[in-house]
């Protein structure tokens, strides 16, 4: 049985992961609206990953006999002034999620909830990757800044991100 305090923060984490899903879906819409379909594709893949994250916590709670409580999602940002601002928000958001995973780990350790160690170790590693990727793309966007051909090339590169097969988020697969 999952520890009660941990159950509360894990239910909150489902909400944060779903808010991440929403944020990246919103960014995908923003990038589509300015014809940067590669960046939009990258964001759709990121949104797909966030749904998987939410479901990992969802299933962990169920497996351990806990009650799922789906909380209200906060209304997130729906527009950005620039490409740079969107990528800055991406990195900032991932740093926020890393803090939330750290907080979860602290609760689990204080409550001696050892069964949650594998899932929290997975997310600790995942956040290193998420921050590193967002930071690298942000650096590249800053590098090309107002250079339109640089943005065009970066957009093409980001458009090569691979989706898991059959993802409903993959617009190119739906078009086939
Ligand atoms: Fe779930 O890692 Fe990003 O937010």
Mean of the pLDDT values across residues 48-58?
97
Entry pTM: 0.94
Mean of the pLDDT values across residues 86-109?
98
Domain contains 176:
no
pLDDT for 79? 96
Domain contains 88:
yes
pLDDT for 171? 86
Is a pLDDT exceeding 60 seen at residue 64?
yes
Q: What is the signed CA dihedral for 43, 44, 46, 49, rounded to 10 degrees? A: 170
Q: Residue 1: CB partners within 8 Å, gap ≥ 6?
A: 64, 65, 66
How many whole angstroms from 17 Cα to the centroid of ligand 1? 6
Domain contains 170:
no
Would you place residue 24 in the very low, low, confident or very high pLDDT band (cuts 50, 70, 90)? very high
Domain contains 95:
yes
Domain with 17, as residue range(s), is 4-71+78-165
- Cβ of 20 below 6 Å from ligand 1: yes
Domain contains 26:
yes
How many whole angstroms from 18 Cα to the centroid of ligand 1? 9
Would you place residue 60 in the very low, low, confident or very high pLDDT band (cuts 50, 70, 90)? very high
Is a pLDDT exceeding 60 seen at residue 175?
no
Whichever domain contains 45, its CATH number is 1.20.1260.10
Domain contains 175:
no
Is a pLDDT exceeding 80 seen at residue 173?
no
Best residue among 54, 56, 76, 94 to mutate for probing ligand 1's pocket (most ligand atoms within 8 Å of CB) is 94
- Cβ of 48 below 6 Å from ligand 1: no
CA 87, CA 29: separation in Å to the nearest integer? 14
The answer to whether 153 and 28 are in contact (CB under 8 A) is: no
Domain contains 34:
yes
List Cβ<8 Å contacts ≥24 apart for 79-84. 79/30, 80/27, 80/30, 83/31, 83/34, 83/36, 83/39, 83/141, 83/151, 84/138, 84/141, 84/142, 84/145
How many folded domains does the chain comprise? 1
pLDDT for 146? 84
Q: What is the signed CA dihedral for 145, 29, 126, 102, rounded to 10 degrees? A: 90
Domain contains 171:
no
């Amino acid at each position: 049985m999952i520890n009660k305090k941990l159950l509360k923060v894990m239910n909150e984490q489902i909400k944060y992961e779903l808010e991440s899903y929403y944020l990246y879906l919103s960014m995908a819409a923003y990038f589509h609206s300015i014809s940067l379909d590669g960046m939009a594709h990258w964001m759709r893949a990121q949104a797909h990953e966030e749904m998987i994250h939410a479901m990992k916590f969802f299933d962990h709670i169920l497996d351990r006999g806990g009650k799922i409580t789906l909380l209200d999602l906060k209304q997130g940002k729906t527009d950005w002034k620039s490409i740079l601002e969107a990528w800055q928000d991406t990195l900032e958001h991932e740093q926020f999620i890393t803090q939330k995973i750290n907080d979860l780990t602290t609760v689990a350790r204080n409550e001696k909830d050892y069964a949650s160690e594998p899932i929290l170790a997975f997310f600790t590693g995942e956040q290193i990757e998420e921050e590193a990727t967002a930071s690298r793309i942000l650096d590249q966007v800053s590098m090309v800044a107002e250079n339109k051909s640089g943005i065009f090339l970066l957009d093409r590169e980001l458009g090569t991100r691979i989706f898991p097969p059959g993802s409903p988020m993959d617009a190119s697969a739906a078009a086939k």
